[in-house]
Amino acid sequence: MTIECKNLKTPYNTTLNRPILNGINCKICQGEFVALLGLNGAGKSTLLRALVGLVPLHSGEIRINDILLTPRTLPHIRRHIGLIFQGGGLVRQLSALDNVLCGRLGVLSPWQTLWGFSQSDRCMALELLAQLGLKEQAYQKTAQLSGGQQQRVAIARALIQSPQILLADEPIAGLDVMAAQQVMEIFAQLHRARGMTIITVLHDLEAASAYAERALILDAGCLVYDGACRDLPSKFTKLSQVSV
């Protein structure tokens, strides 16, 4: 699935004294692995959420596979997009398995949800957890899991809806080096094995260069760099020293 953003602009933000997004234009093709970079307040998370209709736009348009994103087309489009929120966005008192099953709510009909999750749904969720190294933790509450394990649960929850596009908002923020590497390796494997389109907000250039093919850098709501990660200009190396 392709994603095309044309002149995206959000309503004026009085705190920032500008729109959070201010004229974003980009096209992301099927199967690309894109790192979204920028300093705090640059608009990275806002752009990611706009792609699934969670942020109102003042002007501009978003097309997914040439389908204009509108309130009418949003439910259909969302079925093909998995979103991993910053911090995972899990229900801490539910088990890892139940959290993953929550990802099926977006693809089941209201009638199906009345009867609960099917055995096939449960088998799919358990298989995903096993693939992500969490077979033994399936029935543990997520509050009892480590940060890296929680992120893997969040990935499984996104994957259970069989998305064609995966969006991740700072998926390795707050993780130790090993846990961060494990999460990024999972994304790389999904990209290689499934040809999945992945767009992730990252906090440093090293992670972007090691795993992503393309970088989009935002500054004050504007797109200031769009190119190969290996070609990131030296003036942006300062981003690796700060939270972005």
Q: Is the pLDDT of residue 208 over 70?
A: yes
By 3-state DSSP, what share of the chain in percent is helix, strand and coil, each rounded to 5? 40, 25, 35
Q: Which domains does the chain have, with CATH numbers?
A: 1-80+165-244 (3.40.50.300), 90-162 (no CATH)
Contact call for residues 201 and 173 (beta carbons, < 8 A): no
Find the DSSP H helices in 115-225. Answer: 119-131, 147-159, 177-194, 205-211
Sorting pLDDT into bands at 50, 70 and 90, what band is 72? very high
Phi-psi region of 166 (alpha: psi -120 to 50; beta: other; left: phi over 0): beta
CA end-to-end span of the chain, whole Å?
27
Percentage of the residues of the chain whose pLDDT score is greater than 70 = 90
**3-class DSSP state of 201:** strand
What are 92-122's pLDDT values in tens digits?
Answer: 899 999 999 988 876 655 445 445 688 888 9
What are 11-41's pLDDT values in tens digits?
Answer: 999 888 999 999 999 999 999 999 999 888 8
Q: Looking at the whole model, is its pTM more than 0.85?
A: yes
C-alpha–C-alpha distance, residues 85 and 96, integer Å: 16
Q: Is the pLDDT of residue 156 over 90?
A: yes
C-alpha–C-alpha distance, residues 43 and 223, integer Å: 10
Whose CA is closest to 30, among 5, 1, 62, 63? 1
Distance of CA 105 to the CA centre of its chain: 18
Q: Which residues contact 66 (CB under 8 A, 6 or more apart)?
A: 2, 4
Residue type, 35: A
Q: Which residues contact 70 (CB under 8 A, 6 or more apart)?
A: none
**DSSP H or E stretch at residue 96:** helix 96-101
Q: Which two tokens mark 125? A: 């969720």
**DSSP H or E stretch at residue 82:** strand 81-84
**3-class DSSP state of 179:** helix
For the beta carbon of residue 14, count every other beta carbon within 10 angstroms: 7
Q: Is the pLDDT of residue 202 over 50?
A: yes
Q: Which two tokens mark 138? A: 């399936």
In whole numbers, what is the pLDDT of the chain averaged over residues?
Answer: 88
- Greater pLDDT, 138 or 118: 138
- Tell me the mean pLDDT in the region 39-54: 93
Sorting pLDDT into bands at 50, 70 and 90, what band is 86? confident
